Chain A
Amino acid sequence: MTKRRVHLTFTGKLVEEPILWQLSQTFDLIFNIRQADFTEGIGWIMAELEGDPQRLENGIKWLEDRGVQVAPIEQDVVS
């Protein structure tokens, strides 16, 4: 099992969708939300994802393909 701490940003219609639940169901991942903030049209979640390493990778790719911006919890570390 591998853990990954991520900062997820949702915009537009994605804000209203149960994406973490879908992620959990599809890739058999455990999610643990630590902080979140949502308003109309935009929101973010800081969470820890846990599961099989390959499923975790696939799940993150699935999130990105859906239009979710996935970043480390540090967000941009290149400066």
Chain B
Amino acid sequence: MATVRGLKCRECGRPYPADPLHVCEFCFGPLEVDYDYDRLRGTLTRKAIESGPPSIWRYRALLPIEGDPAVGLHCGMTPLVRAKNLARALGMREVYVKNDTVNHPSFSFKDRVVAVAITKALEFDFKVVACASTGNLANAVAAHAAEGGLQSFVFMPADLEQGKVIGTLIYSPTLVAVEGNYDEVNRLCSEVADKYRWAFVNINIRPYYAEGSKTFGYEIAEQLGWRTPQHIVVPAAGGSLVIKIWKGLKEFERLGLLSGPCATRMHLAQAEGCGPIVTAIKENSEIIKPVKPRTIAKSLAIGNPADGYYAYKVVKGSGGHGEHASDDEIVEGMKLLASTEGIFAETAGGVTVAAAKRLIEQGRIPRDESLVLCITGNGLKTQEAVAPSLKVSLQIKPTLRSFDESMTSHGIEVTPRNLS
């Protein structure tokens, strides 16, 4: 069912055809996909969605593709975990973890956006896809391009961690290590996107790419039994995810798919070392002041967020708030999530848990209300962030006596098996 009318400028409302465009030629505002919701009302039902595949493509009527999905067929429908242990630790009654650490194929929420972007790139008949990335996006683009049989170029800062590089190179893209600072890499990629006829997923395909994030919100609502929680805490880099989760929830409300009105408060989580949107929220400033990122949460290290203003509006409009997390709190957040729920999240997950903890302590998230934490990437990708704070529990000789002595000296009490 083709429900896309075209693209529309988010600022001035000018319409554009559904082409690989991303900026309004008149006001330079961002373009976004415009749907014909009237065609969907009454035909897109809960039953129709529930009978779809167990992936993001069960929501394809609300995604900007014309034909069948071409890649990422197993992406999405990640677990929404009722996190009772974490709730107890946070002093909350009802906490859920939306767990995209296990998203397919590259273990982050970026698989959602890239599955849509590359399907769209194939529909546009692009032969080459590309991205500029510091990690998760690179992994997702290289993996999906391999699946779709497309040539891919991934631009990365030359000093990136080995784990991120290996997790991309394994899919055989052309990995371009750019020797320059962040701003220089950023500018170069914008110029490359301008010069070559490639599908640059987060530039000229961005309006389609960003729509994939709506599925994060759709799944939360469906997995909660077609209702929305009272609070959602979302990590922010460029600010797009919180906007699209909100858009997804409001679309479900508009189409009559929810049991009641969507009254969710959207809260934003950023690192102290790179938190320009949260700073703006705290200062009630609609203008986002760019910062130079200095944080271990590299996947959130966007100093000049393109969607910062719109993220600010969503958070303020929903009655939510924002909080920062220090590097130490990020590590503690990662450890808390792992030790209570068995979920190893990347640094962005630590930011989300730590910011939620602050918001709960401030009373902005009341302890008797429902909360969903958005956990967007897998901890195996950022092991270096927590490695210094973790150590082997016991170092012993290979004898039972050494083991017992070590247990005793560390105050570990266990009851031996009764051998009588």
Contact = CB atoms under 8 A, between A and B. Distances in A.
B287 A79 contact: no
Contacts of B238: 75-76, 79
Given A34-B26, A78-B185, A79-B237, A44 B190 contact: no
A11 B285 CA distance: 13
B285 A72 contact: no
A37 B28 CA distance: 14
The binding surface of chain A is classed by DSSP as strand
A37 B11 CA distance: 13
B408 to A, nearest CB: 51
Interface size class of B (residues with CB under 8 A): 35 or more
A44 B290 CA distance: 10
Name which of A42, A46, A72, A73 has the most chain B CB atoms within 10 A of its CB: A72
A71 interface: yes
A77 B203 contact: yes
A65 interface: no
A35 interface: yes
A71 B186 CA distance: 8
The binding surface of chain B is classed by DSSP as loop
A79 B187 CA distance: 13
A43 interface: yes
Interface residues of A, number: 22
Contact of A79 (B29, B132, B286, B289): B132
18 contacts: A35-B28, A39-B285, A46-B27, A71-B304, A72-B190, A73-B23, A73-B28, A74-B190, A75-B304, A76-B302, A76-B304, A76-B306, A77-B189, A77-B193, A77-B306, A78-B132, A79-B132, A79-B134
Given A75-B305, A78-B133, 17 more contacts: A5-B28, A37-B287, A42-B287, A46-B27, A69-B290, A73-B23, A74-B23, A74-B206, A74-B306, A76-B306, A77-B132, A77-B200, A77-B203, A78-B132, A78-B155, A78-B186, A79-B302
